[in-house]
Amino acid sequence: MLLLFDIDGTLVQRASSEHAAALIAAIEEVHGIDLTGARLRDSAAGRTDGEIARMHLLAAGVSAARIDARAEAVRDACWRLYAELCPDDLAAKVVAGMPELLASLAASGAWRLSLVTGNFEPVARLKLRAAGLGRWFPAGQGGFGSDAEDRAALPGIARRRAGEAAGLEHSWPRERTLVIGDTPRDIACARADGLRCVAVTTGPYDRTELLGADAVADTPAELAAAIDALAAS
């Protein structure tokens, strides 16, 4: 089965401050505006980097046409700035027990590990490398905020890439795919592609806010059990 992991709040915790700073700095650099003190009215949790950038820019009075025209430049600047800001070692930010779970899943041969994250891909890769988790998520796989601003599009992109990597003539099957994330938006993007989802409480949301998932887990051990149960159903 294909397991599509979110990153922030799912694999790592409280590891996004430098990422957020790089995105704000990129927006300011590309658009020549000052976002000092800017705050979004709605939570950024579970959104793509591109969507977060758009929200900031619209709030600052920038036109949608200009946002679209400069979106690639913002992505490139964010990656460059994050490369300068990203700590060399994010191991202390990794969710306890997650490396062991990933190692076990990878070793079993029963699972294909991939990503669905709102992070621009270069940012995601840098973050996972610093966290010591990158080796479980091969290049050329997954769905990222640099692929689409709408997170709902990302599982389909990840399934297509997984199918291509496996030599299939079609995308990886929906019935053999699970999304794993920590926000209601992870659940929503799974449902948009007709997928099942396991939500984890290691992010900003508790069980009561994640009941739309097929299963909710508090720890990697519970996540492993939920994955096994859904794979068997």
pLDDT digits (tens, 9 = 90+) for 90-129: 999 999 999 999 999 999 989 999 999 999 999 999 999 9
Q: Are residues 147 and 215 in the same domain?
A: yes
Beta-carbon contacts of residue 220 (< 8 Å; ≥ 6 apart): 95, 96, 97, 98, 100, 101
Instruction: Pick the last residue of a domain from 63, 85, 107.
Output: 85
187/224 same-domain check: yes
Over residues 200-212, the mean pLDDT reads 95
Task: Give the range of the structural domain holding residue 23, as residue numbers without chain letter.
Answer: 17-85
Regarding whether 214 and 158 lie in a shared domain, the answer is yes
Q: Predicted confidence band at 221 (pLDDT cuts at 50, 70, 90)? A: very high
CATH number assigned to the domain comprising residue 179: 3.40.50.1000
Same domain, 97 and 207: yes
What pLDDT is attached to residue 41? 80
Boundary residue ending a domain (85, 118, 135):
85
Are residue 78 and residue 101 in the same domain, yes or no?
no
In this prediction, residue 40 has a pLDDT band, given cuts at 50, 70 and 90, of confident
- Rounded to two decimals, the pTM is 0.95
The burial class, CB within 10 Å (0-12 / 13-18 / 19+), for 211 is exposed
The pLDDT of residue 3: 98
Residue corresponding to tokens 């997954």: 142
Tell me, yes or no, whether 60 and 120 share the same domain. Answer: no
Same domain? For 80 and 96 the reply is no
Same domain, 62 and 142: no
Q: Are residues 123 and 10 in the same domain?
A: yes
Please tell me whether residues 104 and 73 are part of one structural domain: no
Say if residue 149 is in the same domain as residue 165: yes
Q: Each residue of 102-112: b (16+ CB within 10 Å) or e?
A: beebeeeeebb
The number of domains in the chain is 2
Q: Do 193 and 147 fall within a single domain?
A: yes
Structural domain ending residue among the three candidates 30, 60, 85: 85
